[in-house]
Amino acid sequence: MSRLPARWLLPALPLGFLALVLVAPVWRLLAEGFGAGGLAAGEPLRWLDVWQDGYLRWRVLWSFAQAAITCVLAFALGLPLAWVLARLEFTGRQLVLRLLMLPFVVPTLVAALGVLALWGPRGWLGGPLAGAGIELEGTPWLLIYGNLFFNLCLVVRAGVDALEQVSAQRVAAARTLGATPWRAFWRVEWPAIAPWLASALCLVFLYCFSGFGLALILGGQRYATVEVEIYTLVAHELELGQAGVLAVWMLGLTGAVALIYAWLEKRLAAPGRVLPIARQRPQGWAQWVAVGGALTLLFVVCAAPLLAILGRGLQAVWVGRGAGVLWEADTRAALWNTLRFTALALVIATALGLTHALAVRALDEASRARGASEARGVLALGWRAASYLPFVVSPVTVAFGLLLLYPDWTASLALLLAAYALLAYPFVAKSLTAALDSLPASYAQAAATLGARPWRVFWRVTLPLVGPALRRGMAFAAATALGEFAVTLFLSRPEWTTLTTLIYQRLGRPGAANLDAALVLACLLMLLALLAFTGIEGPGKDDNRRHA
């Protein structure tokens, strides 16, 4: 893969795809927003009507506020949890780490129903609270809790990975010089883990700020976010101009957060390879209380909604009000659509992610070659960052832009699959890029020295070594496609109903029977997501670290 033509041909597929499915629709959306705002007609002040309209201003400010509140809570809860998992060795720790990312791969509608099954008016905890006069419905609590359910795991995993990169020698030196454990943490450990946590919190903010499914189900009329408002303006009120203005503001705000993320990544250098601090068995009642508290908190935030929806689904089947939905023709058609759309999107996403990661490696090699210009280094860095673009632009914005740019293709399967693949392929690209970065160049060089052609080196040497990372990225991509909701609402046809849209349709109908049917369908969708989740990390890795 070291020849110059290959370096420039590899980015062609993902670059063309991003240009057609992301950049061009966003550009069309910008044109719609600026045109609706009056800029084209020489009336720039009309574009500021979003901030002059109290209703729209509240939507934007609340979207910011709920994302910021989630970040604060995720940091306050996630850092102590990460410390317990990184520093203490106890029975079941490895299982907890493996299950920690489970909420992240659960579809948003399943998570929303899990929150309602736990805290809703008829929920396990919400029902007794409602009987006591404490109403959670119509409050921001449900949405904030749903955001925490999804995103706390990101902060905890980032914190665990970061704490395992802290130098044991530096901490020991600080303690030898008289520093207390608390002072050693803030003066030695905190500077090392800050870049990891800052990156995780930026992602949490972006996920919450541009979230759609949770806000649609849990936000209600008062606490819905801008993404829900854009969908309402397009699908129900046909106010494309106003929706375009809101989408442009959302793009600008998410882009600003993305720039802050990039600045943090550059400003805060990650630590190199170090001898990590050995984990210890809990000593004394305080550390055992910390372990118990950490496990209880993880159960309440991350596991309880899943158990609640499973219990409510089994209850619906037991009483006979929900089992029948599994055998209906609409369910069979939705299941078939979900599986085939996911499979086709996964094939496209894998091809895009693979070529993107290989292009990053090839461009990095070119930038490090003797006599390489600085422009090649900038190009390599820019192409590496391009895989984050689908994370910056929300699914609602993507779908709205595609709707405006390709009106004749709105009801086409090709456009729907392209949107699915756009949202899924960054997981494959980032996972493979990280694996290729850690792969020694000497392996491929040795094979090439023995006469192997570049493609043979790839198939016989590189691919087997990065196989686990590829499988992990594909599993995340499959889980993303399985639970995709916003794009399907915008671009799907009635005969292309998926499990997510069928659940949403059931929730929109009155009666306990429809709610029970939605819960049963959510259990089915959660089962499919769990099957995809089993391929994320594969068998547990041996931990050869010597415990103190």
pLDDT at 43: 47
Distances (CA, A) of 359 to 20, 345, 366, 380, 434: 19, 21, 10, 9, 13
Is residue 287 a part of any domain in this protein?
yes
Long-range (24+ apart) CB contacts under 8 A made by 174-183 are none
The whole-number pLDDT of residue 368 equals: 61
Query: Is the residue at 47 inside a domain?
Result: no
Return the pLDDT at 265: 56
> What's the domain count of the chain?
1
Contact between 57 and 246 (Cβ < 8 Å): no
Q: What's the whole-number mean pLDDT along residues 456-462?
A: 66
284: left (phi over 0), alpha (psi -120 to 50) or beta: left
Nearest to 114 by CA among 124, 105, 104, 129: 124
Contacts of 369 (CB under 8 A, 6+ apart): none
What confidence score (pLDDT) does residue 271 get?
44
Helix (H) or strand (E) holding 434: helix 413-437
C-alpha of 74 from chain center:
15
pLDDT tens per residue, range 287-307: 889 889 999 999 988 888 988
Element (H, E) at 357: helix 329-368
Longest dimension (CA), the chain: 77
CB neighbours (10 Å) of residue 322?
26
Any domain includes 16: yes
Distance CA 242, CA 247 (A): 9
Q: Tell whether 258 is covered by a domain.
A: no
Mean pLDDT of the chain: 78
Confidence of residue 219 (pLDDT cuts 50, 70, 90): confident
Q: Look at residue 444 and tell me whether its pLDDT is greater than 70.
A: no
Percentage of the chain beyond pLDDT 90 is 10
Distances (CA, A) of 90 to 51, 149, 158, 222: 52, 24, 20, 44
pLDDT digits (tens, 9 = 90+) for 43-86: 444 556 667 777 778 888 888 899 999 999 999 999 999 989 98
CB of 233 within 8 A of CB of 224? no
Assess whether pLDDT exceeds 70 at residue 525. yes
For residue 402, tell me if it sits in a domain.
yes
Q: What is the CATH number of the domain that holds 487?
A: 1.10.3720.10
What does the pLDDT look like over 27-44, one tens digit per residue? 887 777 666 544 444 444
The answer to whether 202 and 264 are in contact (CB under 8 A) is yes
Specify the amino acid at residue 248: V
pLDDT band at 538 (very low <50, low <70, confident <90, very high): low
Q: What's the pTM?
A: 0.80
Please tell me the distance from the alpha carbon of residue 341 to that of residue 234, in angstroms, as a whole number. 24
**Residue 60, in any domain of the structure:** no
Domain that holds residue 441: 4-31+67-223+280-533
Residue ranges in 10-140 assigned as alpha helix (H): 12-18, 24-36, 49-52, 54-87, 93-99, 102-105, 108-119, 126-131
How many angstroms separate the CA atoms of 299 and 267, rounded? Answer: 35
| Residue 59 included in any domain | no
Distance from chain centroid for Cα 531: 18
541 in any annotated domain: no
